Amino acid sequence: MPLSGWLCFLALLPAFSAQASFADGLSATPSIILLFIFVAGMAITGASGLWLLKQQRARQKSQQKVLRQLLADTSAMVAVLDQDCQLLIASNVLEQLTRQQNLCHCMYFDPAAKQLAWQDIQQVLQQQPSWQGEVWWQLKNDLLAVSLTITQSNNSAWPAARYLLIAQDITERKRADQQQLNNLTRDPLTNLPNRITLEEQLASNISGCNNLYPATALLLVKFNQLLRSEHSASSQSSANQIAEAAESLRQAIAPQFTIGRYSSDSFAILVAPHLCKPPVELALNQLAHQVLSQISLFDITRNPNQAYASIGISRFPEDGSDASAIMQSAERAVQNAARSGTNQFCFADSRLQQRATESLALQSELSISLHQNDFIVYYQPQLSISSNRVVGYEALLRWHNPKRGIMQPQSFLALAEQSGMIIKLDRLVFQQSCQQVKHWLQMNQLRGRTALNISAQHFQQTDFVEYLSNCLQQNKLQAKHFTLELDEQIFQQPIVDLQQQLTALSDMGFQLILDNFGDGMSSLTTLRQLPLHGVKIARSLINQMEQKEQHRNITASLIRLAGYLQLEVTASGIDNEMQAYLLHVMGCDKLQGNLFSKALPASEIPALLAKENKLIKKAAS
């Protein structure tokens, strides 16, 4: 109650006492006195409290004035923050930086980073009085590196204050440290990794080799004319030539390859394990040709008639057990390439050199045969054990090579994948299969679905679904007559895009199955989330099933798992009756293999079906 209120209350006390009786007054007198003393005390206390409050506010204003003056005078970046990291007051330097650069007004993290970073910082501050660290502030056109110290605050000038922030600009030091690191790890002329970094990266590639990706490689590119021009031209001219050589190599290779400066006239290209897919000699052969072709477009020596490049190729583990040995093998190979003639490349392993030459010749033959239509589709029957009838086929490609005879897919499919011709081969198989299925329908000889192997490259084409749809329309067929056996690499792309494309295929009527189930990295999540209709057990499990109990147990578990998920199970590569019996006992009814029939030309299928009918009638009688 204000003091004036208390005084009015005291003035009314005599009037109250006059109205009381004499007797009552005698008895009430002590009470009135006590009440008077109490009220007077309260009045004194209220006046004292009001005086103290005024004094406290005066001190706060004085402290705020002093703090504002300190923040105005200091050249440091200082701020007072509340419990949510919001800025209460900051030094002029920090305020000016905020206005100029449009920084987030919240400890200068961007909003998304603040939500994560501030939680971590608060956890530290709960256990200790301060937090220290380094952050980058995003400016309009640059980055600012700062060293931050955040301390818990009990500043009475601002009751909402919880933390004191002190920031120091360390951008120049950071850039100097980065430059020093670049000088140690990069070539100053080309800004490419230097030899030390290349050796470390090669060692890392070697340690990353495994059963799935067992090889890694090094291409050493030597510009034979650079040293000669260095002796005859100015140092600036030589530097320009080296820079041009580095630029030509950058344009020659894809970004996933690592390129660095190996020596004064040599560069190295590292091929990571996941890029060394078999046949590795073909991939390395193509890369070497690509590099030499690109280099020939650059007039590095100002004399296009002179040869100036040689390439030596070595790979792990064939040419060495560590990075140093691989580099030495590449050096010997590049010397052999330089002696062989102009613009040549050479493998450190002579056997690989021979295989690379053969692969290049086979690739040329494959390209010619595609134009000459030297391919034909064979069909391997799929049998139901419970009914002893053919219930479908798998379309398998055969290459009628004019020089080498009929070739199986394993002889050329890897080559087709490396060269990109696998897409044309996949489409050729689908076209021929559509024509054959149409004929079987007309002759009333169609049995079940025809399975087609789909490569990852073909599946990833933007017009994949459209192409299949157009091909079906041209032949007046429905997708329900076909099964698409999907390579496991297909399932490595983003799940959303994959699900969308598989759903489109399923809606068209295609049966979708995962090929080589049990031999790769497919997860239970893949089987549950995607619209698959079946799986095909990996041949590697079936081949070892009789000899190895572990393979039998894995195969049986996979078949049970597929049954739980209501997926059809197919097993291929059945070569003997024991394999067929074990799979039948495990619950796999649809089998395929040479035990029943090898892959046949379409012209031989009617005879096979006639023989089947004859055997069934004989068994029934």
- pLDDT tens across 352-390, in order? 666 667 777 888 888 899 889 899 999 999 999 888 899
Residue type, 174: K
225-243: average pLDDT: 60
CA 355 to centroid of chain Cα atoms: 33
Strand partners, 271: 217
Looking at domain 188-360, its CATH class is: alpha beta
Closest of 199, 216, 137, 218 to residue 170, by C-alpha: 137
- pLDDT tens across 406-438, in order? 999 888 888 888 778 899 999 999 999 999 999
The domain segmentation of the chain, as residue ranges, is 3-69, 74-176, 188-360, 373-620
Write down the pLDDT at residue 339.
80
Work out the angle between the directed axes of helices 280-295 and 235-252 (0-180°, nearest 10).
140
Residue 225, pLDDT > 70, answer: no
Tell which wins on pLDDT, 588 or 295.
588
Q: Does domain 373-620 have CATH number 3.50.4.10?
A: no
SS3 172: helix
**Per the structure block, which two tokens stand in for 456?**
């990852």
| Highest mean pLDDT, choosing among 171-180, 527-536, 578-587 | 578-587
* 279: Cα within 13 Å, side-chain hemisphere: 23
Percent of the chain surpassing pLDDT 90? 33
Write down the pLDDT at residue 158.
67
What are the DSSP calls for 20-85, one per residue?
Answer: S-HHHHHHHHHHHHHHHHHHHHHHHHHHHHHHHHHHHHHHHHHHHHHHHHHHHH--SEEEEE-TTS
Residue 147, pLDDT > 90, answer: no
DSSP 8-state class, residue 610:
H
Alpha helices in 208-316 (DSSP H): 226-232, 235-252, 280-295
Closest of 226, 231, 243 to residue 306, by C-alpha: 226
Tell which wins on pLDDT, 311 or 616.
311
Q: Which CATH entry fits the domain spanning 74-176: 2.60.120.10, 2.60.40.10, 3.30.10.20, 3.30.450.20? A: 3.30.450.20
Closest of 483, 472, 398, 481 to residue 445, by C-alpha: 481
- pLDDT tens across 495-527, in order? 778 888 999 999 999 999 999 888 766 666 677
Write down the pLDDT at residue 605.
93
Question: With the CA atoms of 277, 281, 284 and 287 taken in that order, what torsion angle do they form, in degrees rounded to the nearest 10?
Answer: -100
180-208: average pLDDT: 87
Q: Tell me the whole-structure pTM to 2 decimals.
A: 0.56
**Per the structure block, which two tokens stand in for 616?**
């069934």
Q: Supply the mean pLDDT for the chain.
A: 80
- pLDDT tens across 4-24, in order? 333 333 333 343 334 444 334
* Cα–Cα dist 45/80, whole Å: 35
- pLDDT tens across 77-109, in order? 888 888 777 777 788 878 777 776 665 545 555
Exposed, middle or buried, 7 (CB in 10 Å: 0-12/13-18/19+)?
exposed
* Cα–Cα dist 61/69, whole Å: 12
Write down the pLDDT at residue 447.
92
Minimum mean pLDDT range among 29-33, 58-62, 247-251, 527-531: 29-33
Closest of 274, 150, 257 to residue 212, by C-alpha: 274
Write down the pLDDT at residue 162.
80
Q: Are 415 and 393 in contact (CB under 8 A)?
A: no
